[in-house]
Amino acid sequence: MSGHKKPHHMGSYHRRALRLRAAANANPATVCWRCGDPLLPDVPGKDRWTAGHLVDGQVGGALAPEHASCNYGAGAKAGNEARRTLPPSRRW
């Protein structure tokens, strides 16, 4: 799937995500919408802000500050769940 953006990362997503990350980085009181913790630079895995979808994978949906580890972990969980429902011949 190299080079192809998922629908939830197309359109205005990049502009909205850039603004959201800039605001989160400028405000030390920002907390991750998923886990509720602030950015903890000394804790491995919670080293930067990403723009997380409030409804995972929703095209054009609301975004909120989210730790990279929380965001990518949620994506991995969703992908694993989706693959679990595929017939064995379609899994990788």
Res 82 pLDDT > 90: no
Res 40 pLDDT > 80: no
CA distance 89 to 40: 42
* pTM of the model as a whole: 0.74
77 and 56 in contact (C-beta within 8 Å)? Answer: no
Average pLDDT score, the chain: 83
What pLDDT digit, counting tens, does each position of 5-34 carry? 666 666 788 899 999 999 999 998 999 999
CA distance 5 to 67: 21
- 67 or 87, which is more confident? 67
Q: Return the amino acid letter for 30.
A: T
Domains annotated on the chain, with CATH: 7-90 (3.40.1800)
6 and 14 in contact (C-beta within 8 Å)? Answer: no
- pLDDT value at residue 10: 65
* 24 three-class SS: helix
